[in-house]
A and B are shown apart, each in its own frame.
Chain A
């Protein structure tokens, strides 16, 4: 795991000195603390910060092919590199290292841009082909590893994090895009290639991009989840068997490393599945890590202990208090580089610190299972709404709602007319392509109320933007797979795998790996019939069946708990952190110009009186606070003091 950064000279007189590349890679040193490598000529510059995991001695980057015409820097892992290498050696390629990186240059020689389709892994790649003076950028299928780029004054800059781009040139404009801010507040994620910063784009998951003397190309998709394909007609037992076999293989493949590999354990089904598969089907020593909360409302220690006892793992946990979350929050935003509407990344920041303290660099996690196998309450809610919509007077209504929201047992949804309102059951799943997401997004719109008049001056609808960008992929699909697709394109890559995933791990040089997101598993899951993904209201039905006997029955049967952390409560304890008052002061709000200072003052007052608030208030408060922190760190005061010369530079090619 690593950080990459670089540039392509589109027209600018080339800067020969190394200092531009040093400035860009320096703020990514948390991603690769083991050393730096550079490649530079009159057209391009590549910089690499390395976290050594495979081929500890030989794996320094950039790496080239036999005749030094192809150069590559890359962040991530190619899990099938051993098989690819064998094949390439048979084809006559000469390898000079044992690293997974080197297969990229040789495979590119064989296949051109299509080489990405052969890769099983999680990656962000920049590859220079000196024969036609072009750079190819590529990103993994699900969006596990990040890659951003930005064109400014005759150069295209790119990097694993936006910090690298902002450090390239102090005059490069840095501003928050008010429409993307509305996207995040409404949809909980930007859409497509957008990022919160105007002019900075992300290379989308499953896409490649070519930059050459003609300019920066358009992103081309090389892979997508295909729900339009054949639905499997295999029997239930056959599907269970195939799912288990694939997951075992994925776990085995993802344990490939020259350093020890651990696992996160949340107490829920998915991380327990991964841990159990490591225990039962590999010889990897089992080392697990988890987050615990002082507040029992969020804590899952009991469930974690159950899995630890059952699988006999060597386990460590970090206990997280309100104060801990508040203390690390500004650092968390430094790493997410985007507004967030929950504090949930903060405990994961503390967790990766724990992992690093125990000298582990790699952890397997259960991320992605809910999207591909149909686990979320959002999917369940859509099923219930569709049922109630079709059978408005059914006696089952109350029972269904109670099963769906036991914690809302006393809530007004027992009333038929309230239920109709909350669940928008007057809308038909067939007529609205975004049926499952509408209630969530309607709620999200509440947050936009806090934006300043300037921010919302141009009429704009985030929901229409999503509809427009995804319509071609949603038409003709069942509402359940439509919901899965939307989750897999928005929240999964742009929040869960980044703000809660890559960024929190990499903050402490820890690499996450995600066996559920092996593309073979994702492609298989897309063929599972909808009725078997969620049987009745039993989510991830096939996975549970596949894991019988491999996990405690209580864990398999446990009602799904969304992972949450205390939000407002963290910031209004006995000693509120001083930055809250500072960032939310009228002066600072006016300076960013993003929010209505009166409304924010009223919200803060409400939180001060009582810190236990509803979902919307929690999201609004964290959304405003994180955006203000982002503005303060990245727009107002962006500065990374790069040393004159970088120590630990292992390779320079000019």
Chain B
């Protein structure tokens, strides 16, 4: 779990925040509300999930409840790879 949190954070930092300041991202912060990810960014995120965790994200799973924060992503990955 913790390892996935770190991987997600690293991905978000290098791809969307371009920032090394760890304090700038709360694990519960909404990517959309904070303007961290836009609509093309969500696709990029899904592509990364599928490649990194060898999983397939279905259309109906493309919802903020699964994808819109570090903690939500962590839970979603845990469910999908369980």
Cβ–Cβ < 8 Å partners of A443 in chain B:
35, 38
Contact A418/B38 with A411-B43, A603-B18 known, Cβ cut-off 8 Å: no
In the complex, which range does the number of interface residues on chain B fall in? 20 to 34
On chain A, the residues within 8 Å of B65 by CB distance are 417
How many A-B contacts at CB < 8 Å in the complex? 70
Chain B contacts for A614, CB-based, 8 A: 38, 40-41, 43-44
* A598 x B38 contact (CB < 8 A): no
Chain B residues with CB under 8 A of A410: 43, 59
Assess the B19–A599 pair: CB atoms within 8 A. yes
Is the beta-carbon distance between B62 and A414 smaller than 8 angstroms? yes
A415 proximal to B (CB < 8 A) = yes
Decide if the interface of chain B is mainly helix, strand, loop or mixed: helix
Whether, in the assembled complex, B29 has its beta carbon less than 8 Å from a beta carbon of chain A, the answer is no
A446 sits at the interface (CB 8 A)? yes
A446: chain B residues within 8 A (beta carbon): 35, 38
B41→A421 contact, CB < 8 A: no
Are B18 and A450 interface neighbours, CB within 8 A?
A: yes
Is A408 within 8 A of B18, CB to CB?
A: no
Name which residue of chain B comes closest to A445, CB basis. Answer: B35
Task: Give chain A residues whose Cβ lies under 8 Å from the Cβ of B38.
Answer: 422, 443, 446, 614-616
- Pair B42/A411 contact, Cβ less than 8 Å: yes
Let me know if A602 is at the binding interface, CB within 8 A: yes
A356 within 8 A of partner (CB): no
Residues of chain A contacted by B18 (CB below 8 angstroms): 449-450, 599-600, 602-603, 606
Do A598 and B32 have beta carbons less than 8 Å apart?
A: no
Decide: B39 and A417 in contact? CB cutoff 8 A.
no
Q: How far is the CA of A422 from the CA of B40 in the complex (A)?
A: 11
| Minimum C-beta distance from B49 to chain A (A) | 13
In whole angstroms, how far apart are the Cα atoms of A600 and B19 in the complex?
9
Q: How many Å lie between the Cα of A418 and that of B30 in the bound state?
A: 12
Partner of B40, one of A415, A598, A603, A616: A616
A600 to B18, CA, bound (A): 8
User: In the complex the two chains form, is A421's CB within 8 Å of B59's CB?
Assistant: no
Q: Which residues does chain A contribute within 8 Å of B14, judged by CB atoms?
A: 602, 605-606
Measured between alpha carbons, how far is A559 from B14 in the docked complex, in Å? 36
Residues 21-38 (chain B) with a chain A CB within 8 angstroms = 32-33, 35, 38
- Report whether B64 and A422 are in contact in the complex, using a CB–CB cutoff of 8 Å: no
Out of A414, A445, A598, A600, name the residue touching B59 (CB < 8 Å). A414
Give Cα A408–Cα B39 distance, bound, in whole angstroms: 9
Within 8 Å of chain B (Cβ to Cβ): is A209?
no
Determine the distance from Cα of A411 to Cα of B45 in the docked complex, in whole angstroms: 11
In chain A, what residue has the closest Cβ to B67? A412
The reply to whether the CB of B1 lies closer than 8 angstroms to some CB of chain A is no
The residues of A that contact B64 with a CB separation of less than 8 Å are: 415, 417-418, 421
A418 B40 Cβ-Cβ under 8 A: no
Interface residues of B (CB under 8 A from A): 14-15, 17-20, 32-33, 35, 38-44, 46, 59, 62-65, 67
Top-3 shortest CB links A-B: A614-B40, A602-B18, A412-B62
